[in-house]
Amino acid sequence: MPSKKERYKNFNQIVNTFYNEEIEKIDTQDETIKKIGNIKIETQIFYDKFLGDMKLEFKIGNKKMYKIKNLSEFYTRIMQKEFYRYGEKLQFTHTEEEFSEDSRKMLDFIMKYAEIIKYANSNSNSNYRYYGKALSETSIIVGNSAIDDLFDVLKGKSVAFQRDYNTSQIIFTEEQPKIEFTLKKIENEQYIIVPNIEIYKVNIINGKKYKYILDEKNIYRCTKEFENTTLKLLELFRKNYITEVELGKDELTQLFSIIVPKVKNAINIENIPKEEIEKYKPKELTVKVFLDFDKNDYLIADVKFCYEEKEFNPLDEKLQLNFPRNKIEETKALNVFRKTNFMLDTKNLRFILPDNDSIYEFLTQDISYYRQRFEILVTDNFKKKQIKEPKIKSVGIKIENNLLSINLKDLDIDKSELEDILSKYTLKKKYYRLKDGAFIDLQNSKEIGFLGKFITGMDISYKQLESGEVKLPIYRSFYLNQLLKEIKGTEIIKSSEYKIIVNQLNKEQLEEEIEIPENLNSILRYYQKTGFKWLKILDKYSFGGILADDMGLRKNYTNIICYCRLC
């Protein structure tokens, strides 16, 4: 028979494995606390301005620096926490803790891209090729993503930078480069725009998220605003191989209405009188919109563009206008109409909304945006055809000839349209357009909701509702009473007899007004007494009702029902 130690050796092996692993963690944590890493990483950038290629090489060490000759091997040493000797002055176990705090981000950068190199090259002898070729293991080629990552690591730092075989220091900075353009008058009515830098002495580097400008001393990360304004203008100069742009006085209006607002403060004006410039600057644009409905109940919008006292219809292409205009702002204004589904009425030179869906959308949502941007003027006809809130001013209820008589004559809706309105409501439509051109919101109207439930719940015809007075069996009192709670602003006029019926359905009223016969009082439980009283109310008003056997009344319920009928 094997010994206990022999029997449980597999279990003990598992215990020892996990125990030793935890002890190793504790030792590592203690070393991390005690140890201050002093190994630094130095980066050198090599830049080929003709090809636009940038690559990185690295050195590590403390007092003496050693080049990382193989990035794939370096990656493996870190991953396996391997001990390695570079030379007499540098040998260590490759863990993150061995590196100085200032070098940790660069270490992460190297590990990310060294992993790509390692696994690309590990497949280089097979049919699979990473980007079609093996990668150099001595350096990292900086692509679109890598330049963004590199800048995050090095921003604010100075790095060795080799260009044209000359090495200098370059700073990664988030400040924007001092690139500006100047408008100058050269002769008569001729002008030029010139940049303040030699445009080919700077290089533009495209990252995945950002663009960068490289000059003699800095790599700048461009903000999106700078990229879309000043840098865009610079790229146009470079793309067209020009160092200046000529223009005449007739082009100044376009300069100040289109280019200057776009590049903001990037264009300076030199030696040109202010009053001369003001003649070509467009005044502030204001937009007037006149809203109305035409004879077909289409929504129409007449538009006027205004520059101080000058006012014109922008849809009239025959107009000959000789004053500065802000074409960008004008285009933005016209696009608002197109985006909100207005169509161009070329005959009358105005915008038009011919379909009900778009008109309803405009009246409920878009018009608030228009009021923020434009000066809106409306006709009396327009005011009459807004979104209406139908009201039920009062509802009268009384008991006549053992029937409920409900008076619904006090409606501010054309009763001939009730069937169409409620049909749309039943189909869950957003709105209904009345014959007079106004709209009713079907989704948010409590009154329409009340009428819809009244028709379906009471099982009455539209003709009965249109008559304004509805006759119903008295047992409908329960449902009616619940419906009336949904219309808060309506005056509810209830007859005394109707009130008695409704009140007697109240639990407290049952307790107070109905007595249990002596011969049943002693044998019925509490809930059976409640059932008895409920049946008495039903019987009193000739209502129908069901008393289920699952209520626990057992054999007594038959006696209760019979007794109620006898009473």
| % of the chain beyond a pLDDT of 70 | 86
**pLDDT at site 562:** 46
Q: What value does the mean pLDDT take over residues 520-546? A: 68
Token output for 144: 């679109």
pLDDT band at 555 (very low <50, low <70, confident <90, very high): very low
DSSP code of residue 44 = E
- Distance, in Å, from the CA atom of 546 to the CA atom of 538, rounded to the nearest integer, reads 10
Q: Which of 209-218, 402-411, 463-472 has the highest mean pLDDT?
A: 209-218
CA-to-CA distance for 451 and 465, rounded, in angstroms? 9
- On average, the pLDDT of the chain sits at 85
Q: What is the mean pLDDT of residues 69-87?
A: 94
* CA–CA dist 527, 281 (Å, integer): 88
Structure-token pair, residue 433: 């357009």
Look up tokens 């009763």; give the residue. 415
Confidence of residue 124 (pLDDT cuts 50, 70, 90): low
pLDDT: which is higher, 504 or 354 = 354
Residues linked to residue 213 through DSSP beta bridges, in sequence order: 204, 220
Alpha-carbon distance of 48 to 161, in angstroms, equals 11
Of 27-36, 160-169, 412-421, minimum mean pLDDT range: 27-36
Q: Report the C-alpha gap between 540 and 563 in whole angstroms.
A: 13
d(CA 19, CA 264): 67
Does the pLDDT value for residue 548 go beyond 70? no
**Rounded Cα distance, 358 and 354, in Å:** 8
Could you report the per-residue pLDDT of 331-363, keeping only the tens digit for each? Answer: 999 999 999 999 999 999 999 999 999 999 999
Alpha-helical (H) ranges within 340-385 are: 356-361, 367-373, 380-384
CB neighbour list of residue 504: distance below 8 Å, 6 or more residues apart: 510, 513, 537, 540
Round to whole Å and give the CA distance between 455 and 424.
13
In this prediction, residue 99 carries a pLDDT of 95
Structure tokens at 41: 């990483």
Long-range contacts of 300-307 (CB under 8 A, 24+ apart): 300/345, 300/348, 300/350, 300/351, 300/352, 300/353, 301/337, 301/342, 301/350, 301/351, 301/352, 301/353, 302/350, 302/351, 303/333, 303/334, 303/337, 303/350, 303/351, 305/330, 305/333, 307/282, 307/283
pLDDT of residue 546: 64
Number of CB atoms found within 10 A of residue 109's CB: 21
Q: What is the pLDDT of residue 24?
A: 66
| Across 561-567, average pLDDT | 46
Q: Could you read off the pLDDT of 211-221 as tens digits, one per residue? A: 999 999 999 99
pLDDT for residue 406 is more than 70: yes
Q: Give CA–CA dist 39/98, Å, rounded.
A: 6
- The mean pLDDT value for 102-126 works out to 87
- The residues spanned by each domain of the chain are 4-29, 40-167, 174-278, 285-384, 388-496, 507-566
Nearest to 219 by CA among 278, 152, 133, 166: 152
Give the model's pLDDT for residue 544. Answer: 61
Tokens of 273: 């009188």
Say how far apart CA 72 and CA 78 lie, in whole Å.
Answer: 10
Query: Would you say 286 and 306 are in contact if contact means Cβ atoms under 8 Å apart?
Result: yes
Contact present, 382 and 451 (Cβ < 8 Å):
no
R_g of the chain, CA atoms, integer Å? 43
Q: Is the pLDDT of residue 148 over 90?
A: yes
Q: What is the pLDDT of residue 567?
A: 47
Beta strands 53-61 and 40-48 are antiparallel
Q: Count each helix (H run) and each strand (E run) in the chain, helices first.
A: 23, 28
135 touches 91 (CB < 8 A): no
pLDDT grade for 508, boundaries at 50, 70 and 90:
very low
Residue 171: strand, helix, or coil: strand
**What per-residue confidence (pLDDT) applies to 430?**
93
Q: What is the pLDDT of residue 456?
A: 85
The dihedrals phi and psi of 357, each to the nearest 5 degrees, come to -60, -45
Pairing type for strands 245-248 and 83-87 reads: unpaired
Phi, psi (rounded to 5 degrees) for 138: -95, -15
Lowest mean pLDDT among 308-317, 423-432, 556-565: 556-565
Instruction: Check residue 563 and give its pLDDT.
Output: 45
Burial class (CB in 10 A: 0-12, 13-18, 19+), 400: exposed
CA 362 and chain centroid, separation: 21
Reported as a single tens digit per residue, the pLDDT across 272-303 is 888 888 888 899 999 999 999 999 999 999 99
Token pair listed for 494: 């209830």
- CA-wise closest residue to 431 among 483, 364, 343, 508: 364
Q: Specify whether the CB–CB gap between 385 and 299 falls below 8 A.
A: no
Contact 156, 216 (CB under 8 A): no
**CA geometry: angle 109, 115, 121, nearest 5 deg:** 135
Residue-level pLDDT at 365 = 93
Q: Give the C-alpha separation, 206 to 311, whole Å.
A: 46
CA 404/CA 410 separation, integer angstroms: 18
Name the band, by pLDDT with cuts 50, 70 and 90, for residue 550: low
Backbone angles phi and psi of 227, in degrees to 5: -60, -40
> Residue-wise over 505-521: b if at least 16 C-beta within 10 A, else e?
beeeebeeebebeeeee
Residue 407 CB burial class (10 angstroms; 0-12, 13-18, ≥19) = middle
Q: DSSP characters for 250-280?
A: GGHHHIIIIIHHHHGGGEEEES--HHHHHTT
Q: Mean pLDDT lowest for which of 117-131, 167-181, 313-327?
A: 117-131
What's the pLDDT at 164? Answer: 86
